[in-house]
Chain A
Amino acid sequence: MAIWCRALAIDRWRLNHAGPENAKAGTNDHGEAPIVLVGETAHGPRIAAASRAAMAAGAQPGMLLADARALCPHLVVHPSDPPGDRAFLENLALWAQRWGPWSALDLPDGLVVDVTGVAHLFGGEAALLADAAASFAGRGLTVRLAVAPTAGAAWGLAHYGPDRTSLSADAGVLKGLAPLPVAALRLDADVVLLLERLGLKRIGDLAEIGRAALARRFRDRRSPAANPLMRLDQLLGRMPEPILPVLAAPLPMVQQRLMEPVRHRALLDRVVEDLACALVRRLEEQGQGARRLDLALWKVDGDVLFRRLELAAPTRDPAHMTRLFAGKLDDLDAGFGIELVRLAAPWAEPLALTQSDLDAAAQTHGTSLAACIDRLSMRLGAEAVRTPVPHASHMPERAQRWAPPLGNVALQEGLEKGIVPSGRPLKLLDRAEPIAVIYEAPDGLPRLFRWRGHVHEIARAEGPERIAPEWWREKGGARLRDYYRIEDSAGRRYWIYRRGLPGDGRGGAPEWFLQGLCA
Chain B
Amino acid sequence: MTPVSLPRIDRSAHWQPGLGDACRHVEIFASADEASGAGLALAFALDAARESADHRPWLWVQDKTAIRLSGRPYRPGLPEGLRHRLLHVAADRPEDALFALEEGLRCRDLAFVIGEIAGNPTSLDFTASRRLSLAAEKHGVPLWLVRLSARHDLGSARMRWDVDSVSSPPPRWNRDAPGAPCWRARLFRAHTFQPGQWVLGHDGEANRLVAVRAVAVRAGEDEGACTSGAAAAPDHGDLVQGAGDRPLEAEPRRA
Is residue A262 within 8 Å, beta carbon to beta carbon, of the partner chain?
A: no
Question: What residues of chain B lie closer than 8 Å to A236, measured between beta carbons?
Answer: none
Known A-B contacts A369-B107, A426-B77, A519-B35; the reply to A491 vs B166 at CB < 8 A is: yes
- How many angstroms between the C-alpha atoms of A222 and B73 in the bound complex? 50
- B108 lies within 8 A of A491 (CB): no
Inter-chain CA distance A425–B83, complex, in Å, is 13
Which of A80-88, A197-205, A371-379, A504-512 faces chain B? A371-379
B75-98 toward A: CB 8 Å interface, digit per residue (1/0)? 111101001111111111000100
B178 on interface, CB distance cutoff 8 Å: yes
Task: Tell me whether A400 and B74 are in contact in the complex, defined as CB-CB below 8 angstroms, given that A426-B38, A460-B178 are known contacts.
Answer: yes
| A-B CB pair tally, cutoff 8 Å | 189
State the Cβ distance, A176 to closest chain B Cβ, in Å.
62
* A475 interface hit (Cβ, 8 Å): no
Which residues of B lie under 8 Å from residue A489 when comparing CB positions? Answer: 167
Contact assessment for A491 and B88 in the assembled complex, using a CB-CB cutoff below 8 Å: no
B177 and A461 form a contact (CB under 8 A): yes
Minimum CB distance partner of B66 in chain A = A427
Interface 1/0 per residue, B3-26 and A, CB below 8 Å: 000000000000000000000000
Which residues on A sit within 8 Å (CB–CB) of B67?
430
Residues of B within 8 A of A491 (CB): 164-168, 182, 184
Cβ of B244 within 8 Å of any chain A Cβ, yes or no, is yes
Most chain A beta-carbon contacts within 10 A, residue among B75, B91, B141 = B75
Decide if A388 touches B75 in the complex (CB within 8 Å): yes
Whether B39 and A492, one on each chain, are in contact in the complex, defined by CB atoms closer than 8 angstroms, is: no
With A369-B57, A462-B174 already in contact, the answer to whether A427 and B73 are too (CB < 8 A) is yes
Q: B interface, how many residues as a size bin?
A: 35 or more
Decide: B76 and A519 in contact? CB cutoff 8 A. no
Q: Assess the A518–B108 pair: CB atoms within 8 A.
A: no
Across-interface contacts of B176 in A (CB, < 8 A): 460-462
If A379-B99, A380-B100 touch, does A368 touch B77 (CB 8 Å cutoff)?
A: no
Chain A proximity of B81: nearest CB distance (Å) = 10
| Chain B residue with the shortest CB-CB distance to A409 | B84
CB neighbours (8 Å) of B75 from chain A are 388-390, 399-400
Flag if B167 contacts A459 (CB, 8 Å): yes
Residues of B within 8 A of A462 (CB): 174, 176-178
The contact of B181 among A369, A383, A405, A493, by CB within 8 Å, is A493
Q: Is the CB–CB distance between B165 and A368 below 8 Å?
A: no
The segment out of A206-214, A243-251, A414-422 that lies at the interface is A414-422
Chain A 449-476 per-residue mask, 1 if CB under 8 angstroms from chain B, else 0: 0011010000111100000000000000
Bitwise, A3-35 to B at CB < 8 A (1) or not (0) is 000000000000000000000000000000000
A366 shortest CB reach to chain B, Å = 3
Q: Are B245 and A418 in contact (CB under 8 A)?
A: yes
Interface residues of A in 377-407 (CB under 8 A from B): 379-380, 383-390, 396, 399-400, 402, 405
Nearest neighbor of B100 in chain A, beta-carbon distance? A376
B144 CB, nearest partner CB in chain A, Å: 14
Q: Are A399 and B108 in contact (CB under 8 A)?
A: no
Distance of A451 from chain B, by nearest CB (Å) = 8
Residue from A365, A396, A487, A516 in contact with B178 in the complex, judged by beta carbons closer than 8 Å = A487
Most chain-A CB neighbours within 10 Å: which of B71, B139, B165, B170? B71
B178 CB to closest chain A CB (Å) equals 4
| A492/B168 in contact, CB under 8 A | no
Query: What residues of chain A lie closer than 8 Å to B96, measured between beta carbons?
Result: 379-380, 384
Taking a contact as CB atoms under 8 Å apart, the answer to whether A425 and B38 are in contact is no
Is A437 an interface position by the 8 A CB rule?
no
Complex alpha-carbon distance, A458 and B92, angstroms: 34
Q: How far is the CA of A424 from the CA of B238 in the complex (A)?
A: 12
Residue of A380, A389, A426, A518 with most chain B CB atoms under a 10 A cut-off: A426
From B103, B109, B166, B181, contact of A376 by CB (8 A): B103
CB proximity of B132 to chain A, nearest CB, Å:
15
22 contacts between A and B (CB under 8 A): A366-B106, A367-B108, A368-B109, A379-B99, A384-B91, A385-B87, A385-B88, A388-B88, A390-B75, A402-B88, A405-B57, A409-B84, A427-B38, A429-B71, A462-B176, A489-B167, A492-B34, A493-B34, A518-B181, A519-B36, A519-B39, A519-B181
